[in-house]
Amino acid sequence: MSAVPAVVIAAPASGSGKTTVSTGLIGALRAAGHRVAPFKVGPDYIDPGYHAVAAGTVGRNLDPNLVGPELVGPLFAAGAAGADIAVVEGVMGLFDGRILPEETGAEDPAAFGSTAHVARLIGAPVVLVVDAAGHSQSLAAVLHGFIGYDPSIRIVGVILNRVGSDRHETVLRQACSRVGLPVVGVLRRDPGLQVPSRHLGLIPAAERRDDAVRAVAAMTATLGAALDLPAIVAAAQSSLRPAVTPWSADDAVAAHCRVADVGARPRVAVAGGAAFTFGYAEHRELLTAAGADVVGFDPLVDPLPADTDAVVIGGGFPEEHAEALSANEPLRSGLAAHARSGRPIVAECAGLLYLASELDGHPMAGVLDVAGRFGPTLTLGYRDAVAVTDSVAFAAGERVTGHEFHRSTVHAGVHAPDPAWAWRDHRGHPGSHGFASGAVHASYLHVHPAGSPAAVVRFVEHARAHAERTERTGRAG
């Protein structure tokens, strides 16, 4: 089996138009008859939602920080299975990755977890999207620098974005020609292609629904006309990495435990809908492989599904939906009763806020004696964390690398559980974070489940123990 052809869409800097180009390219390739596998470098949850609309299949993430570099190739192979081409959208600038003090003076020019790092790991060529609005002949020098900075990264073409006129395009094409890079697409300035944003970036596709479908259709039509699709497909077919064994949820679970052949299949309810859009596709796959029956629910409108043994509430934007979440009193009281009964709950970021007693004055589920507040300060970055309290997900002493991304804070009351994590901030100052008890694990930290499959297994085992108890005594609902 040969590796699936792939192309990485990167840029010299953030804000160059990677998401618009990547989404439109995915849609245009699909319209041309390709089966496209979409990926995003880094911990971003929003861009994969637009990729999924364009591709008609789930978008996935590739992040060496969260899963380790050794898993990037297998996760790519698993996500690309059945496709004939993969499109990988980069993060920030091509060589931008995790900022660590020990990286000062590092010999490798590709920062750990950068787009360049991932491109190297999967052996894929790079097409640069350049915001050409302020460029003229000097673009040649910029491209020359990117080509020569790390010769192991194969930059094979340029997409010129926000080009002002025919004359401007001619000058830019000449600049690209001087350094030997073909232009594989030209986009004129078009404010209509912008995806609406707010405090944490683009508005998720799941919140925009029909508007998102229309936006993706517009990107598909525009990029289909602006790009040289045959040239991009040919570039993707020059991928160099040999085929690797695809990641498998079953194998990942089997490596950490032996799932019992007999016993209850616990029912795990996973929050979704417009308020909880953040999550990794591999999470549901691992839950199922560990023996759970997974059911989705929308906290904006649904009660807790019947016979739920455990609950997962991921990230999202509860502050945008606080009134509606508060109005769903049956779910709030159901979650509180679920927690009181000792049934497991794992919550990340938005899920933490929803388990709070209140968020900006709106009553929430009241599972935790904490209050949530939305604020002006962005907290962002990778965290090397150690679990400090035994919980349904992690044993004390377990270490993970996760990611924080929020503008809210939580303020603990006197009855708040013990901390979930400890880590040091970028200044080296220690701190404790999140909350953990016997039944609940909740924090701002996003952890990729493929990087911590043992935590998923532990969670399902706790859910199975509850399911077996209720089978013996009769379910209480």
Residues belonging to the active site: 349
How many residues would you count in the chain?
477
Cα separations in angstroms, 434 against 405, 415, 431: 14, 14, 10
Cβ neighbours around 191 below 10 Å, total: 6
Q: What are phi and psi of 302, to 5 degrees?
A: -95, 150
What is the C-alpha separation between 436 and 417, in angstroms, rounded? 6
Enclosing H/E stretch for 362: strand 362-363
What is the C-alpha separation between 350 and 347, in angstroms, rounded? 8
Of the candidates 13, 41, 8, 23, the residue with the CA atom closest to the CA atom of residue 126? 8
- Dihedral sign, CA of 414, 416, 421, 424? negative
Start-to-end CA distance of the chain, whole Å, equals: 48
What is the C-alpha separation between 42 and 448, in angstroms, rounded? 11
Residue type, 7: V
Enclosing H/E stretch for 72: helix 69-80
Exposure string for 120-147, b = 16+ CB within 10 A, e = fewer: bbbbbbbbbbbbbeebeeebbeebeebb
Enclosing H/E stretch for 348: strand 345-348
Strand partners, 111: none
Phi-psi region of 458 (alpha: psi -120 to 50; beta: other; left: phi over 0): alpha
Looking from the CA of 202 toward its CB, the CA atoms found within 13 Å total 24
What is the C-alpha separation between 327 and 165, in angstroms, rounded? 52
Q: What is the DSSP string of 195-264?
A: PPEETTEEPPHHHHTHHHHHHHHHHHHHHHHHB-HHHHHHHHTT--PPP-PPP-HHHHHHTT----SSS-
What 3-state class would DSSP assign to 396? coil
What is the C-alpha separation between 434 and 315, in angstroms, rounded? 14
